[in-house]
Structure 1
Amino acid sequence: MDRVNPATGEALGVVEADDEAEVETALETAAETFETWRDVPLAERENLLSNAADVLRENETEYAELMTEEMGKPLAAARSEVEKCAWVCDYYAEHAGEHLQDDHIGTEPGVDSFVAYEPLGPILAVMPWNFPFWQVFRFAAPHLTSGNVGLLKHASNVPGCAAAIEEVFREAGYPEGVFQTLLVGSDLVDDVVEDDRVKAVTLTGSERAGRAVAETAGAELKKTVLELGGSDPFVVLDDADVEAAAATGARARTINSGQSCIAAKRFVVHTDVYDEFVEAFVAEMDALDVGDPTADVDLGPQARADLMDDLHDQVERSVAAGAHVELGGEPLDREGFFYPPTVLTDVPRDSAVAEEEVFGPVAPVFEVADEAEAIDLANETDLGLGGSVWTADRERGTRVAREIESGTVFVNELTKSDPRLPFGGVGDSGYGRELGAMGIHEFVNRKTVWVQDAEEPADGPAGE
């Protein structure tokens, strides 16, 4: 696997990919390990997860520097990512027992009827490069603790991160085979999904990749969870705190140098505050520092040259369609793959930045006449992952949030994932949920159990 430092364009050391024999060994190891791991007491699995949180904190600098080197994340943001991974480990180390305890349901006198949550087996996780630690840990923390074993197929530009994550679990004391990394290209994913030893698949990535994995898994009748990106609206209503909305909006658009599924992608602003918002928002975006991600900057490079080229193509097509560049709009003339904070106004609603997911620090701003139009425009996408609503009226914010068609909506805050809350999308943003109690229940057998004395048959209808 060839790697390039996105801040310099210089080649990094080549990482050898696994061959078919190594993949076969990993699959066999996963299947064998599951048979013993599933019987390890839950309290022991929770303790191991707590150990993983300790390993993450102890090696925060090393892991952060690795992320920055492979995909260009600013070092401060990379440190925060490691801390968030430790948080999700802490959360499930404390709450997995609560989420996985038998759920007793009253039915008949003398009958003990309950739902038990039992692991499925080896789970394949196909993960992207943009949050190379967090998106893996939000899968691994709940699902290893529920008794499954994990197989990670990570993005090909972050193999060092993939290997480091496997090392985290090894250092935490997990048995060999509970979590393994498969250093393979996308061409081998279908074969792994089809393998009888793999019981389910989770994928975070593009809509195209999600459809391909879902088709293969569906043919094998295997459970999938998909998180496929978003085109999140950032709605600023006429009674919003404009300065606060502009400041948070700039952060929401440029988190991870704009390379986030739940970044604010489309700014929908009421006409009464439109001019004030645009002026404040452009100023906030213009104040952001872009540069060497190992220094104290707000934005680093885009992760790959082709990603920067695709982003600029979206801007050029939108400008050709009539959008006006308020700020930025051209790649920076320097080594590496740097694109500046960019703000577009007068954006046609059928232009590229309106209709496509924009994965970089480019913010199209749309003017709307009223709340109803704001909701309509917010919902003019098939990518229903997240959204943000800004208003001084909590009841109004709640009402508008309910109208936005997405898996997550935050009022007077940027959209974010939280270990305590379910996370996922609707429509072309995928299905299923990660995190919280709902997340840990995605890859378990929710087994109904009915227990009664042999001499006391219960009354009731039979059959399906």
Structure 2
Amino acid sequence: MTHHAEHGYEAKAAQGGEGASAQKLKTENPATGKPGRTYDGHTREQALAIAGKVREAFPDWRRTSFTERGIVVGTAARILRERKDEFARLMADEMGKPVTEGLAEIEKCAVNCDYFVENAEGFLANEPVQLDGGRAYVTFNPLGPLLAVMPWNFPFWQVFRAAAPALMAGNTVLLKHASNVPGCALAIEDVFREAGAPDNVFRTILIAGRDTAELIDSPDIAAVTLTGSVAAGKAVAEAAGRNLKKTVLELGGSDAYLVLEDADIDHAATVAAMARMVNGGQSCIAGKRFVVVAPVREAFETALAAKMSAIRMGDPLDPATKLGPMVSVKARDEIHRQVRKSIENGARLLCGGEVPDRPGAWYPPTVLTDVKPGQPAYDEEVFGPVAAVIEARDVEDAIRIANDSEFGLGSGVLTRDIRRGEEIAARDLEAGMAFVNENVRSDPRMPFGGVKHSGYGRECGMFGIREFVNIKSVHVRE
């Protein structure tokens, strides 16, 4: 018997959870191109029925203490660590993540759980307000069942980033995961079940994206959080707006890093390569545009191309692998189209840019320079290992180019002048996050999210846990 079967979601995959369904979710190993396991999905009727059960579980869960919730969420952290090898392998099989990165992702999920177990009660403690006469304070009550619509690229982290604070706040959670990672989706439900969560406090449904709007329409759903594409965010926002339901949207990004004339070029290229190659470049907060002031552009692009070329593709199950396959051949082909179109429109290829002659969804680390408006590498989000080098006349021009994007998720400044770099990061860059001399990343302790077409609302930290609560004013005349 496999370890999967021991923990219950192998059987569910075969039986389709709550009743038989005609819909099949077929996985494919992106490293080999070979079919993986097939899962029975839920019908819309089954999904709505499960949403009803998640609603029914809410009143009892909201009345539990922070200590009781913390036992469940803290136990989930322990289970994640105990089963980390299994889950890392599952991610590798379903979406191609190298196991070393998968193990780090599982640990980050566990740290996130621990953080909110420790801090939720303080973040949501009543806040006194000084008014004339009587007592006044603000209290933070859970909203109700949260629908979490999640993507494939960080199939555990994205879910736990939203679920741990939501559960600690007293909400229940319904997960609609990406259809290419159904095993991960069911595994997460299994973690919370094994952790002792009461029935239906956390549930997974396997449905197509087109059926999500009907769930949002359901009175059993109180709010929605989505991480995904701009198109998906607009669709969810539209459906939620019709129903006046609170949403948090974390969408795409085309993160710009400014390389100033006084930057340490080797360090800047190291940070840039690391930023670009996060999750094989398949990350909203991966660095994508490197805006370099003219005097150091040639030195920087040469150093970046050397560091990117040194990253070798390999079997995601090999712990030494730094770059696995893209999520799918379709996604790889779209990345290649963007690269070729950019070159046709004047970009220059420094390394990579060729599709390997092998099965699977492989694409090499690629660097383009002379990137300008009118090229996909400038105008679009390139969701793969492709770095775009853009020349700026000076610092002010670099800031203008960085902000010349529909996106505003993360950003960076690479410079030896820490004071100037901090000023640019804090004041000038139109993004939800700005880092100086390091790559952008999420952290449970810091608010995470963007502006413009990168979405709205925040996850993580105190700001994140307060997104899905009723901020209530209470005044008592004594």
Same fold by TM (over 0.5)? yes
Q: Which residue of 2 aligns with 1:462?
A: none
Q: Which residue of 2 aligns with 1:137?
A: 160
Distance in 2, Cα, partners of 1:248 & 1:375? 19
Of 430, 436, 453, 2:461 maps to: 436
How far 1:248 moved relative to its partner?
1.4
Which structure 2 residues correspond to residues 136-155 of structure 1 after superposition, within 5 A? Answer: 136-155=159-178
Q: Secondary structure at the match of 1:128?
A: coil
Q: Does the 8 Å contact 1:237/1:269 carry over to 2?
A: yes
Distance in 1, Cα, partners of 2:191 & 2:132? 48
How far 1:72 moved relative to its partner?
0.1
Q: Which residue of 2 aligns with 1:427?
A: 452
Q: Which residue of 1 aligns with 2:148?
A: 125
Distance in 2, Cα, partners of 1:66 & 1:128? 15
Q: Which residue of 2 aligns with 1:327?
A: 351
Query: Are 1:407 and 2:407 matched, yes or no?
Result: no
Distance in 2, Cα, partners of 1:334 & 1:202? 38
Q: Secondary structure at the match of 1:2?
A: strand
Q: Secondary structure at the match of 2:256?
A: strand
Distance in 2, Cα, partners of 1:155 & 1:35? 28
Of 230, 237, 252, 1:229 maps to: 252
Per-residue Cα deviation, 1:116-174 (whole angstroms, up to 9, x for no partner): 00001111010000000000000000001100000000000000000000011011111
Distance in 2, Cα, partners of 1:403 & 1:28? 46
| 1:419 aligned partner, one-letter code | P
Query: Are 1:337 and 2:361 matched, yes or no?
Result: yes
Q: Which residue of 1 aligns with 2:13?
A: none
Q: Does the 8 Å contact 1:406/1:426 carry over to 2?
A: yes
Gaps of 5+ in 1: 454-464
Q: CA RMSD in A?
A: 0.8
Q: Which residue of 2 aligns with 1:275?
A: 298
Per-residue Cα deviation, 1:433-456 (whole angstroms, up to 9, x for no partner): 000000000000001000121xxx
Distance in 1, Cα, partners of 2:364 & 2:188? 31
| 1:422 aligned partner, one-letter code | P
How far 1:232 moved relative to its partner?
0.3
Distance in 1, Cα, partners of 2:335 & 2:84? 31
Q: Does the 8 Å contact 1:241/1:392 carry over to 2?
A: yes
Of 281, 295, 299, 2:323 maps to: 299
Q: Does the 8 Å contact 2:342/2:371 carry over to 1?
A: yes
Distance in 1, Cα, partners of 2:356 & 2:388? 19
Q: Secondary structure at the match of 1:396?
A: helix
Of 269, 274, 289, 1:266 maps to: 289
Q: Secondary structure at the match of 1:203?
A: strand
Per-residue Cα deviation, 1:347-367 (whole angstroms, up to 9, x for no partner): 222211100001000011011
How far 1:333 moved relative to its partner?
1.3
Which structure 2 residues correspond to residues 122-271 of structure 1 after superposition, within 5 A? Answer: 122-271=145-294
Distance in 2, Cα, partners of 1:23 & 1:155? 15
Q: Secondary structure at the match of 1:28?
A: helix
Tell me which moved more, 136-145 or 267-276. 267-276
TM-score (norm 2): 0.94
Per-residue Cα deviation, 1:39-71 (whole angstroms, up to 9, x for no partner): 011111112211111010000000000001000
Q: Which residue of 2 aligns with 1:457?
A: none
Q: Secondary structure at the match of 2:39?
A: coil
Of 334, 340, 358, 1:316 maps to: 340
Per-residue Cα deviation, 1:7-63 (whole angstroms, up to 9, x for no partner): 000001111111133213211211110011000111111122111110100000000
| 1:189 aligned partner, one-letter code | T
| 1:202 aligned partner, one-letter code | T
Distance in 2, Cα, partners of 1:22 & 1:222? 22
Per-residue Cα deviation, 1:194-232 (whole angstroms, up to 9, x for no partner): 001101001000000100110011010000000111000
Distance in 2, Cα, partners of 1:20 & 1:127? 18
Which structure 2 residues correspond to residues 453-464 of structure 1 after superposition, within 5 A? Answer: 453=478
Distance in 2, Cα, partners of 1:195 & 1:334? 46
| 2:281 aligned partner, one-letter code | G
| 1:294 aligned partner, one-letter code | L
Q: Does the 8 Å contact 1:291/1:338 carry over to 2?
A: no
Gaps of 5+ in 2: 1-24
Give the count of matched residue pairs. 452
Distance in 1, Cα, partners of 2:392 & 2:51? 53
